[in-house]
Amino acid sequence: MVHYQRKYKGSAVLSCFSAALPHRVAGDVVEWVPMAHTRRLVGQSVAARPYILLSCAVSLDGYLDDAGPRRLLLSNAVDLDRVDALRAQCDAILIGANTLRRDNPHLQLRDPARRQARAIRGLPATPLRVTATRSGDLSPHANFFAAAGAAALVYAAHAAADGLRGALGADAIVVDLGAEPAMTAVAADLHARGVQRLLVEGGGRVFTQFLQQGMADELQIAVAPVFVGDTRAPRFVRAGAFPWCPGRRARLLDVAALGDVAVLRYALSDRCAG
């Protein structure tokens, strides 16, 4: 199905398009063009990996956190509920080991109704929890490993894998990804395990790899009305080359105001239907 839409650039909010379409900008008019006229944004085959959705909250100056000892909460309650709904729609949630160590998240669904709805569909109450580590520096006492009834999945560098198996026991399945683990291998292995929809929740080093390797179909980014202003703090991404750049802009699908937080939604591949 092909939709055409026209919106004026001056609109305060570009939202709720019936289809996610690429566009040309002519003067003040954003002209939506059919999908068939576009090229695939990402060169690699996407058939052998899950649909990958990146989600995070950033400050107005693009930081994921501050540099202090405690996690900076950027989202508000409404936005946290949106993220809970996103989690409920996914098969797996991936975070980097540094986020696991620093934030100590349990990654459980908060809303009992969402857990119950998944159970009715024959799914685990909470999506599979996934992390990656080279160092193997993961505490078996982290909340990440505390969920009852379901082992977490840990992708590890070869040097760390055996030690982690011993330390984590039945709380985790440890997958040895060799000397230099790559997120492409993580995505392929998750796909082979039946994960069709993967939510990547950061942090910055993890986002950087998925984005720079063109392994992202959608980005949802909540912008909080605060500045961090400290270069010691982690940014959304690290420096490097990204497929979306001034010559190849990402497609904005939606902007939503959730209280004082703005949620931007971008299509990063033509797998993202909008």
Ligand X SMILES: NC(=O)c1ccc[n+]([C@@H]2O[C@H](COP(=O)([O-])OP(=O)(O)OC[C@H]3O[C@@H](n4cnc5c(N)ncnc54)[C@H](OP(=O)(O)O)[C@@H]3O)[C@@H](O)[C@H]2O)c1
| Residue ranges in contact with ligand X by CB under 6 A | 56-57, 64-65, 71, 74, 95-99, 102-103, 132-135, 137, 157, 181-183, 201-206, 209, 234
User: Which residue lies nearer to ligand X by CB, 17 or 242?
Assistant: 242
Spatial strand order of the sheet with 6-8 comes to 6-8, 29-32, 23-26
State the minimum distance, in angstroms, from the CB of residue 53 to ligand X: 13
Question: Cβ of residue 182: shortest distance to ligand X, in angstroms?
Answer: 6
- Quick one: 183 or 263, whose CB is closer to ligand X? 183
Least CB distance from residue 156 to ligand X, whole Å?
7
Q: How many CA atoms lie within 13 A of 196 on its CB side?
A: 3
Minimum CB distance to ligand X smaller for 16 or for 85: 85
Under a CB-based contact definition with an 8 Å cutoff, are residues 32 and 4 in contact? yes
**Two tokens at 27?**
């003067």
Alpha-carbon gap, residue 206 to 201, rounded angstroms: 8
User: At its nearest, how many Å lie between ligand X and the CB of residue 215?
Assistant: 11
Tokens of 207: 């986002």
- The alpha helices in 169-203, defined as continuous H runs, are 183-192
Nearest approach, Cβ of 149 to ligand X (angstroms)? 25
- Would you say 71 or 271 has its CB closer to ligand X? 71
Return the closest-CA partner of residue 111 out of 126, 130, 92.
126
Q: How far is the CB of 9 from ligand X (least distance, A)?
A: 29
**CB nearer ligand X, residue 21 or residue 57:** 57
Please, are residues 260 and 225 in contact by the beta-carbon 8 Å criterion?
yes
- Between CA 52 and CA 101, with CA 188 as vertex, the angle to 5 degrees is 65
Q: Of 102 and 271, which has the nearer Cβ to ligand X?
A: 102
Closest residue by Cα to residue 73 from 82, 63, 88, 84: 63
Instruction: For the CB of residue 6, give the shortest distance to ligand X in the complex, in Å.
Output: 34
Nearer to ligand X, 73 or 273 (CB): 73
Q: Give every CB contact of residue 88 below 8 A, 6+ residues apart in sequence.
A: 109, 111, 114, 115, 117, 118, 127
Q: Measured from the CB of residue 147, what is the shortest distance to ligand X in angstroms?
A: 18
For residue 47, give the amino acid letter.
A
Q: Is the dihedral of CA 59, 256, 76, 71 positive or negative?
A: negative
Q: Which DSSP letter does residue 208 get?
A: H
Residue type present at position 272: C
Closest to ligand X by CB, 134 vs 193, is 134
